[in-house]
Amino acid sequence: MRIIFRDRKATGRLDLESVETAIRAAMHQAGAAALTQLLQFEPPDADRLEVPCSCGHTARFKELRNKNFLSVVGTVKVRRPYYLCSHCSSGQCPVDCELGIVGLESSPGVRRMEAVVGAAIPFAPACEPMKVLAGLEVPAKAIERAAETIGAAIARRDKQEIDRAKQLVLPIVSKQTIPKMYVLMDGVQIPVVAAEAEGRTGRIEGQRARTRECKLGAVFTQTIVDNEGRPIRDSDSTTYVGAIETADEFGYRIYTEAWRRGWEWATTKIVIGDGAVWIWNLADRHFPGAVQIVDLYHARQHLWEMAALLYPHDAAAKKRWMIPMKDLLDHGWTELLVEWLREIAAEHAGTQPGLAEEIGKEADYFETNTHRMQYPEFRAKGFFVGSGVIEAGCKSIVGVRLKQSGMFWTVQGANAITALRCCQFNGRFEDYWDNARAA
Ligand SMILES: [Zn+2]
CA of 78 to the centre of ligand 1 (A): 24
- Decide if 61 contacts 55 (C-beta within 8 A): no
Q: How many residues does the chain have?
A: 439
- Decide if 109 contacts 96 (C-beta within 8 A): no
pLDDT number for residue 405: 81
- Decide if 349 contacts 198 (C-beta within 8 A): no
What domains, with CATH codes, occur in the chain? 16-142 (no CATH), 170-295+386-408 (3.30.420), 298-372 (no CATH)
Ion ligand 1 nearby residues (CB, 5 A): 53, 55, 57, 85, 87-88
pLDDT number for residue 436: 84
pLDDT number for residue 3: 67
198 strand-pairing partners: none
**Could you list the mean pLDDT of each consecutive 10-residue stretch along the chain, which spans 439 residues?**
68 83 94 98 94 95 97 97 96 95 95 95 95 95 95 95 87 87 95 83 66 95 92 95 96 96 95 93 96 96 94 94 95 95 93 93 95 96 93 92 90 96 95 84
CA of 208 to the centre of ligand 1 (A): 48
- Decide if 144 contacts 127 (C-beta within 8 A): no
What's the CA gap between 212 and 113, in Å, rounded? 29
CA of 418 to the centre of ligand 1 (A): 38
pLDDT number for residue 76: 98
pLDDT number for residue 207: 65
pLDDT number for residue 417: 96
pLDDT number for residue 203: 60
pLDDT number for residue 1: 64
Say which amino acid occupies 119. Answer: A
pLDDT number for residue 198: 74
pLDDT number for residue 209: 75
